[in-house]
Structure 1
Amino acid sequence: MFINGYSQTSSIFGFFVGSSPCGNVIRPLLNMPLTAECEFTKWKIMLHQDSATRAPTTFNISCVYGIGQPNTSGFVGGGTKVEIAGKWAIVKGSKTDSEAVVYQLNPDQPEKSVSFVKLEDNVIHLLYSDKSLMIGNSGQSYTFNKIKNRP
């Protein structure tokens, strides 16, 4: 789990978890077929940094999506798992705050880039491409919590 992308010179910057709706906005980001049945997605996001410089290096995202299993927090049939890895960067600016700290995944691939604004040290929130906050629904949001530095 989260081993690829990890090296001797890398340390963990943050490990974030959360669940979100399966809107059409996140489907391409997670390589999720538009026809896939999906009510919500559970995310695990690991951000790595250079041990010496603390500069961002790589990320790993592990997601499970599908139709919710009634009266549980799981999925019918266990759901479908997606793994994504790449590079990330720290940039500045959201739609409403030009000084906001933003974690940008895949900055060199605009069609697959995804950004999270840092709300506080332990909370990040997914952004639309215009850098505004994504809006969730009554069951899930696009807010992710830092839980610990090791999965």
Structure 2
Amino acid sequence: MKSLGNWLLILLAIGFVQASRVSPDQVTFRATSPCDRIPRSMLSIPTTTECEMIQWNLALYRDPRNQNPTVYKLHYTYGMSKPSTTGFQDGMGSGTKEGNWSMQQEGKNKTFYRLEPSASAPAISFVRLDDNLLHLLDPDGKLMIGHAGWSYTLNRK
């Protein structure tokens, strides 16, 4: 009888551990944006690096119990574009930022996402346009403006 009680205790503990884990499911957003001064600063891309474009790959994770935001992983690649392709020339760079993210509701139709890096780096903010689109905001909370080649809108994959 004592061993049955121990087994029940072990199963209960495993259940609590499983419930406290971050969901393996994620929502992923991707984009290719200009490599301007503001995103360079946000992503810590050296100003001396030749950089024309940035490819963003943002994964947002939620707590499986209540769907609250938990952590994010942002992988980015940057450099000079390779003519007549969507890729990079040789000599591209890349980086990763990780940390916690949060959502803030303003009014009934405006939602902001804020990425807080775990290292001492500036936060990165987006406005949610709909379930499939996020748009990068500058440090003053204004929409970043792209150009004919690339925008600052991340698309859900």
- TM-score w.r.t. the length of structure 1 is 0.83
The more displaced of 110-119 and 61-70 is 110-119
Q: Indicate the residue corresponding to 2:8 in structure 1.
A: none
2:131 counterpart of 1:118: no
Q: Quick one: which amino acid aligns to residue 56 of structure 1?
A: P
Matches within 5 A, 1:2-151: 8-77=21-90, 79-93=92-106, 99-106=109-116, 112-147=122-157
Larger Rg: 2
In the comparison of the two structures, how many residue pairs are matched? 138
CA contact (8 A) 1:12 1:46 kept: no
More helix by share: 2
Q: Quick one: which amino acid aligns to residue 21 of structure 1?
A: P
In structure 1, list runs of 5 or more residues that go unmatched: 1-6
- TM-score w.r.t. the length of structure 2 is 0.80
The structure 1 segments of at least 4 consecutive aligned residues displaced by more than 6 Å after TM superposition are 107-110
Partners of 2:67 and 2:44 in 1: CA distance: 29
In structure 2, list runs of 5 or more residues that go unmatched: 1-19
Q: What SS class does the counterpart of residue 27 from structure 1 fall into?
A: helix
Percent identity over the alignment?
36
Q: Compare relative contact order (CA 8 Å, sep 6+) and give the higher one, 1 or 2.
A: 1
Q: 1:103 to 1:26 in 2, by over 3 A?
A: same
Q: Indicate the residue corresponding to 1:4 in structure 2.
A: none
- Aligned Cα RMSD in Å? 2.2
Q: What SS class does the counterpart of residue 77 from structure 2 fall into?
A: strand
Q: Deviations over 1:51-109 (max 9, x none)?
A: 1111111000111100011111111116211111111000134xxx7851011000888
